[in-house]
Amino acid sequence: MRAIKRIIPLLFFIPFIYSSCQQNDEYVSELPQGFPELEIPEDNPMTNAKIELGKKLFFDTALSRDSTISCGSCHFMQNAMTDPKRFSIGIDNQAGTRNAMSLANVAYGTSFFRDGGVPTLEIQVITPIESTEEMDIPIVDVAKRLNQNAEYRKLFKKVFNDEVTPFGITRAISAYERTIISGNSPFDKYHFQGDDTALNDSEKRGMELFFSDKLNCSSCHTGFNFSNNTFQNNGLYVVYEDIGRMRIEMDSVNYGKFKVPTLRNIEVTAPYMHNGSLNTLEEVIEHYAKGGMHGKYQSELITGFDITDSEKQDLINFLKSLTDKDFITNPNFAP
Work out which of 154, 157, 214, 247 binds another protein, going by CB under 8 A. Answer: 247
With a CB cutoff of 8 Å and minimum separation 6, the contacts of 184 are: 32, 324, 325, 326, 327
Nearer Cβ to ligand HEC (196/306): 306
Q: Is 140 a residue that touches another protein (CB under 8 A)?
A: yes
The continuous run of DSSP H or E covering 16 comes out as: helix 2-21
Q: Is 6 a residue that touches another protein (CB under 8 A)?
A: yes
Q: Is 155 a residue that touches another protein (CB under 8 A)?
A: no
Of 233, 224, 283, whose CA–CA distance to 255 is shortest? 233
| CA gap 174, 176 in Å, rounded | 5
**Residues at the interface with ligand HEC (CB under 6 A):** 63, 69, 71, 73-75, 88, 90, 96, 98, 100-101, 103, 106, 109, 112-114, 124-125, 128-129, 134-135, 173, 177, 215-217, 219-221, 232, 234, 236, 258, 260-261, 263, 266, 269, 272-274, 284-285, 288, 299, 301-302
Work out which of 23, 61, 127, 149 binds another protein, going by CB under 8 A. Answer: 127
Nearer Cβ to ligand HEC (96/186): 96
Nearer Cβ to another protein (144/154): 144
Select from another protein, ligand HEC, none the partner in contact with residue 284, using the beta carbon and a kind-dependent cut-off of 5 to 8 Å: ligand HEC
Question: Mask: binding to another protein, 34-53, rule CB under 8 A, as x and -?
Answer: ---------x----------
Beta bridge partners of 272: 278
Q: Residue 295 Cβ, how far from another protein at the closest point, in Å? A: 16
Work out which of 29, 68, 94, 120 binds another protein, going by CB under 8 A. Answer: 120
CA 52 vs CA 23, 121, 225: distances in Å: 14, 17, 25
Select from another protein, ligand HEC, none the partner in contact with residue 2, using the beta carbon and a kind-dependent cut-off of 5 to 8 Å: another protein
| CA gap 122, 173 in Å, rounded | 8
Q: Is 126 a residue that touches another protein (CB under 8 A)?
A: yes
Question: Mask: binding to another protein, 168-207, rule CB under 8 A, as x and -?
Answer: -xxx------------------------------------
**Phi-psi region for residue 239, left (φ > 0), alpha (ψ -120 to 50) or beta?**
beta
| CA gap 50, 55 in Å, rounded | 9
Of 164, 169, 81, 155, whose CA–CA distance to 121 is shortest? 169
Select from ligand HEC, another protein, none the partner in contact with residue 150, using the beta carbon and a kind-dependent cut-off of 5 to 8 Å: none
| CA gap 225, 26 in Å, rounded | 26
CB 135 within 8 A of CB 16: no
Using the CB atoms, write b or e for 23-53: b if 16+ within 10 Å: eeeebeeeebeebeeeeeeeebebbebbbbb
| CA gap 99, 310 in Å, rounded | 30
Q: Is 84 a residue that touches another protein (CB under 8 A)?
A: no
Select from ligand HEC, another protein, none the partner in contact with residue 165, using the beta carbon and a kind-dependent cut-off of 5 to 8 Å: another protein
Residues that bind another protein (CB under 8 A): 2-4, 6-7, 10, 14, 43, 113, 117-120, 122-123, 126-127, 130-131, 138-140, 165-167, 169-171, 243, 246-248, 250
